[in-house]
Amino acid sequence: MKVLFLATLVVSGAAEEEDVMATMQRNAVSAHSPNATSSDDLACNKCSDVGGCVCECSWAPDGCKGDDGSCCYACCCYSERYPAACPTDDNAVPDVVADDDAPAPAGLTLYCPYGPDDIEINGNDATSSIEGSGWTMLGGSGVNVKASFNLLGGYVEFDMDLTKVGNGVNTNLYTISPADGVANSGYCDIQSSPNYPTCMEWDIDENNGNCAMQTTLHTWPNHNGGCDQGGCEANTHIGTTVHIKASMSTEGYPTINVNGNDVNGYNPAISASSAAYVVTTMQERGAAIWSSQWVGWVPVENECPSGATQSDLDSSQFSISNLKIMAKSVVFGSPPALCGAAAQPQFKSAPPIDYSARSNEYPNAKMMFRSWVKKVETKAMESLNKDVQTKAKNAVEAEKAA
C-alpha cells in the first residue's frame, strides 16, 4: 500500500509540475519588478542592473520568454526601472553604471546594510520585518540601521513602496546623530523631549500618504533661525512608488533627488553656518538611519488628504528596499555589508525561464512517468495478491490442524 501511495504522489506531482512551469513563466516578471508598469505607460526605462542602460520596452512582457543576457532584457523584464527619455540608440547606449558594481570614489565606501546583523526593529515589534537591504512596516512601527555614518561627499539611496499607505499617514526615512552612536546613546531627536536628548536630524523623506513628500534639515535644537527645530524644508508631489537619492556635499549641503528630479526651493535657504554645523556633526557623531510610520503630522496638508486616525495607521503598510549608503566612514558601530557581487548576496528572484526548449521533451517525460507508475501499480497488486493468497492458505491449514 505504501508503494501505491508513492505512485499516487508521483502522478500528482507530474501534473503539478506542468502547472508550476506555466505559473513561473507567467509570474516571473511581476514578482521581480515591484515598480514595473505597462509598456503603454513607459516608452523607455532606465535601470542599473547588468551594467545600466536606457531601453525601449514596448516589446515587454510578451517578449520576456528567454533571457538573452542583455541589459535591456533585464531592464524591461525584471529589474527595478524608472521612466527615461529614449536615447538615439535605445538598446545599445549605456546610461548609468550600477552603483554596486562600480568602484566607489576615492575615500568613500558603498554599503548595503543587510538583514538583522545590520538593521534592527525598534523594540519587540511584530508588525515590522527586515527584508534583505530593507524592511516592511504595518502600522505604527520603527526600524533603524545600527551604524552611524559620515555622509560627507556620499549619499543615501533607496526605493519606497507606498501602494498600501493610508491617506494622511507619515512614512519616512531620516537620520539622527546620537552622541556616541545608537548602541551607546540610544535614540535622539531634533525636537525637545523628556524621553531622549536632542541632536541634529536630517529628514530625508517624510511622506503624506502617497500624495507628497517633504525633506527637512534640522541642525541646532532651538528656534534661533536657520535650520533650527523648525527646519529648512522643501517638498514635492509623489506617487505610490518612489526612488530617492539623498546626497550630502563635502561642505554640508544636501541634495534630494526624487524619481530623477531634484527637490529645490528650501525655505528658509540653508545658510553657511547650518552647513558648517552639518560638517562638524558628521565628522564627530555621524548619522544613523531611522525609519518609522506614525500619525499626527504630515507635510503639504493643504494639497493632500490629512487627518489620519489610529485606525488608518493600523492598516497602513509601506516598504523600503535596495538601501545603499555611500559614506566617508563608519563613525560608530560595526561596518555593515558592502555592496556588490563579492559582498552580501542579495537573493534576487531569477529572471523568467524559457521552457520552450523542453516542449518536445516534456510529453515524453509524462509518458515515462505513466509507464513507471503502471509498473509500480502492477508490482504492488502482485505483492498484495500474493499476501492474500498466503494468508488464505495459512487459514485453511490452521483449520485442518484444529
Query: Residue 363 pLDDT > 60, yes or no?
Result: no
Region 110-114 average pLDDT: 97
Summarize pLDDT for 198-224 with one digit per residue, the tens: 999 999 999 999 999 999 999 999 999
Among 179-183, 294-298, 355-359, 385-389, which is the least confidently predicted range?
355-359
Region 154-167 average pLDDT: 97
Q: Report pLDDT for 81.
A: 61
Where does 109-332 sit in CATH, by number? 2.70.100.10
* Measured distance CA(19)–CA(40) in Å, rounded: 29
Query: Residue 301 pLDDT > 70, yes or no?
Result: yes
Q: Report pLDDT for 398.
A: 74
* Measured distance CA(174)–CA(202) in Å, rounded: 6
In degrees and rounded to multiples of 5, residue 293 shows phi and psi of: -140, 125
Query: Residue 102 pLDDT > 90, yes or no?
Result: no
Summarize pLDDT for 40-72 with one digit per residue, the tens: 444 577 765 444 567 777 777 666 766 565 667
Confidence of residue 11 (pLDDT cuts 50, 70, 90): very low
Going by the DSSP 8-state scheme, the letter that residue 50 receives in this structure is G
What Å distances lie between residue 100 and 103, 244, 344, 388, CA to CA?
Answer: 8, 16, 11, 69
Partners of 111 in beta bridges = 325, 338
Query: Residue 139 pLDDT > 50, yes or no?
Result: yes
Q: Report pLDDT for 220.
A: 96
Q: Dihedral through CA 371, CA 373, CA 378, CA 384, nearest 10?
A: 170
Instruction: Look at 325 and 349; give whichever has higher pLDDT.
Output: 325
Handedness of CA 160, 163, 164, 169 (dihedral sign): positive
Q: Which of 166, 134, 55, 52 is nearest to 98 (CA)?
A: 52
Q: Report pLDDT for 95.
A: 37
Summarize pLDDT for 268-297 with one digit per residue, the tens: 999 999 999 999 999 999 999 999 999 999
Residue spans of the domains in the chain: they are 1-29+360-402, 33-99, 109-332
Q: Report pLDDT for 19.
A: 43
Mean pLDDT score across all residues of the chain? 78
